Chains A and B, each alone.
Chain A
Amino acid sequence: MSGTAEKGGGNLLRSLDYSVLQQCMHCGMCLPACPTYVETLRERSSPRGRIAMMRAIADGDLETSRVFAEEMYFCLGCLACQTACPAGVDYATLIEQSRAQVEASGVLDRGQRRLVRTLLLRWVFTSRRRIKLLAKALYLFQRSGLRRVVRASGLLWLLPAKLRDLEPLTPEIQSTFTRRLYEQRYRSLNPTSPRFRVGVLSGCVQDIAFSHVNADTIAVLQVNGCEVILPEAQQCCGSLHAHNGDLASARDLARANIDAFSTEEGGVDAIIVNAGGCGSHLRHYDRLLADDVEYAGRAAAWSQKVRDICEFLVEIDFRPPPASPDADVLRVTYHESCHLKHGQGVSAQPRRILESIPGVELTELAEADWCCGSAGIYNITQPEMSMKLLDRKMGHIGDIRPQVVATGNPGCVIQIEHGLRLKGLSARVQHPVSLLAAAYERSRVEAAQRDFSPESLIVEGS
Chain B
Amino acid sequence: MDSAVLSQFRSIIGDDQVLDSAEDLSVYAYDGTATLRVAPACVLLPETVQQVAAIMTVAHSQRLPVITRGSGTGLAGGAVPVEGGIVLCLVRMDRIIEVDEANLAMVVEPGVITQRVADAAAAAGLFYPPDPGSIKISTIGGNVANNSGGLRGLKYGVTRDYVMALQVVLADGQILNTGTKCVKDVAGFTLKDLFIGSEGTLGVITSINLKLIPPPAAKQTMIAHFESMTDAARTVSEIIRHKIIPCTLEFLDRVTIGCVEEYVAIGLPLDVEALLLIEVDGHPAEVAEQAAEIERLAGEHGAREVRRAHSEEEATRLASARRTAFSALARLAPTVVLEDVTVPRSELARMVSHIAQVSERYGVKIGTFGHMGDGNLHPTFLTDERDAREMGRVEQAMREVFEFAVELGGTITGEHGVGLAKKPFLPAAIGPVAMDITRRLKADFDPEGILNPGKIFD
Interface residues of chain A, those whose CB is within 8 Å of chain B, are 18-19, 22-23, 25-29, 31-32, 41-44, 46, 48-49, 52-53, 56, 61-63, 65, 67-68, 71, 86-88
Instruction: Check if B137 sits within 8 Å of A62, measured CB to CB.
Output: no
Whether A65 and B91, one on each chain, are in contact in the complex, defined by CB atoms closer than 8 angstroms, is no
Q: Is B31 interfacial (CB-CB < 8 Å)? A: yes
Residues of chain A with a CB closer than 8 A to B29's CB: 52
**Known contacts A23-B334, A25-B34, A25-B335; A31/B137 CB under 8 A:** yes
Residues of B within 8 A of A19 (CB): 334
A-B contact pairs, 18 of them (CB 8 A): A22-B334, A22-B385, A25-B32, A26-B30, A28-B71, A28-B72, A29-B73, A41-B92, A41-B94, A42-B19, A43-B28, A43-B89, A44-B27, A52-B29, A53-B23, A53-B27, A68-B23, A86-B327
| B 325-339 to A, binary, CB cutoff 8 A, 1 in contact else 0 | 011001100111000
Q: Shortest beta-carbon distance, A119 to chain B, in Å?
A: 30
Q: Which residues of B contact A42 (CB under 8 A)?
A: 19, 24
User: A32 to B27, alpha carbons, bound, how many Å?
Assistant: 17
Chain B residues, Cβ within 8 Å of A43: 24, 27-28, 72, 89
State the Cβ distance, B174 to closest chain A Cβ, in Å: 27
- Distance A61 CA – B27 CA, assembled complex (angstroms): 12
Check A52 against B136 for contact (C-beta < 8 Å).
Answer: no
- Cβ contacts under 8 Å, A28 to chain B: 31-32, 71-73, 134, 137-138
Number of interface residues of B (CB under 8 A): 37
Residues in chain B near residue A22, CB distance under 8 A = 334-335, 384-386
Considering the complex, which residues of chain B in the window 301-359 have a beta carbon less than 8 Å from any beta carbon of chain A?
326-327, 330-331, 334-336
- CB neighbours (8 Å) of B331 from chain A are 86-88
Decide yes or no whether B22 CB sits under 8 A from chain A: yes
User: Quick one: which of B22, B24, B330 contacts A87, CB cutoff 8 A?
Assistant: B330
Q: Which residues of the partner chain A approach B134 to less than 8 Å between Cβ atoms? A: 27-29
Name B43's closest neighbour in chain A (CB-CB).
Answer: A43
B171 on the A face (CB < 8 A): no
* A67 engages B21 (CB within 8 Å): yes
Chain A's nearest CB lies how many Å from the CB of B193?
A: 27
CA distance A63 to B22 in the complex (A): 9
Please, which residue of chain B has its CB at the minimum distance from the CB of A67? Answer: B23
On chain A, the residues within 8 Å of B386 by CB distance are 18, 22
A53: chain B residues within 8 A (beta carbon): 23, 26-27
Shortest CB distance B21–A (Å): 6
Q: Is the CB of A26 within 8 A of B31?
A: yes
Count of A-B contacts with CB under 8 A? 87
Residue of B29, B45, B71, B331 with highest tally of chain A CB at under 10 A: B71
Q: Which A residues are CB-close (under 8 A) to B71?
A: 28, 31
Q: Which residues of B contact A71 (CB under 8 A)?
A: 23
CB of A36, distance to nearest CB on chain B (Å): 13
B280 within 8 A of A: no
When distances are taken between beta carbons in the complex, the residues of chain A under 8 Å from B23 are 44, 53, 62, 65, 67-68, 71
Residues of chain A with a CB closer than 8 A to B89's CB: 43
Q: Is the CB of B22 within 8 A of A27?
A: no
User: In the complex, what residues of B have CB within 8 A of residue A26's CB?
Assistant: 30-32, 72
B113 at the binding interface (Cβ < 8 Å):
yes
| Residue pair B22, A65 in contact (C-beta under 8 Å) | yes
Residues of B within 8 A of A87 (CB): 327, 330-331, 336
Q: Which residues of A contact B72 (CB under 8 A)?
A: 26, 28, 43
Please pick, from A25, A29, A46, A49, the residue contacting B336 in the complex, using a CB distance under 8 A: A25
Q: Which residues of B contact A46 (CB under 8 A)?
A: 27
A41 to B19, CA, bound (A): 13
The CB with the most chain B CB atoms within 10 A, among A27, A61, A88, is that of A27
Chain A neighbourhood of B92, CB < 8 A: 41
Distance A25 CA – B335 CA, assembled complex (angstroms): 7
Cα–Cα, bound, A62→B39 (Å): 12
Give B325's nearest chain A residue, CB to CB.
Answer: A86
Q: Looking at the assembled complex, report how far the CB atom of B73 sits from the nearest CB atom of chain A, in whole angstroms.
A: 4
Q: Roughly how many angstroms separate A67 CA and B22 CA in the complex, as a whole number?
A: 9
Residues on A with beta carbons closer than 8 Å to the beta carbon of B335: 22, 25
Chain B window 118-144, contacts with chain A (Cβ cutoff 8 Å), 1 for yes, 0 for no:
000000000000000010111000000
Report Cα–Cα, A53/B73, bound state, in Å. Answer: 18
Choose one: A23, A25, A29; the contact of B136 (CB below 8 Å): A29
B27: chain A residues at CB < 8 Å are 43-44, 46, 48-49, 52-53
* In the complex, chain A residues whose CB is within 8 Å of the CB of B136: 29, 32
CB neighbors of A among B128-171 (8 A)? 134, 136-138
Docked complex Cα distance between A23 and B22 (Å): 23
7 cross-chain pairs, A with B, having the tightest CB-CB distances, nearest first: A86-B327, A49-B27, A87-B330, A28-B73, A22-B334, A43-B27, A88-B331
Alpha-carbon separation in the docked complex, A452 to B22 (Å): 77
B326 and A86 contact, CB distance less than 8 A: yes
Query: Which residues of chain A are near B28, meaning CB under 8 Å?
Result: 43
Q: Taking CB as reference atom, which chain B residue is nearest A84?
A: B136
- CA of A409 to CA of B72 in the docked complex: distance in angstroms? 35
Distance, CA A56 to CA B29, complexed state (A):
11
A56 touching B26, Cβ below 8 Å: yes
For B30, what are the chain A residues with a Cβ–Cβ distance below 8 Å?
A: 26, 52
- Write the nearest CB–CB distance from A83 to chain B, whole angstroms: 12
A49 to B386, CA, bound (A): 21
User: Which residues of B (83-106) have their CB < 8 Å from a CB of A?
Assistant: 89, 91-92, 94
- Select the residue from B23, B138, B335 with max chain A CB neighbours within 10 A: B23
Query: Given the complex of chains A and B, what is the CA–CA distance between A245 and B113 in angstroms?
Result: 35
Tell me whether A32 and B137 are in contact (CB under 8 A): yes
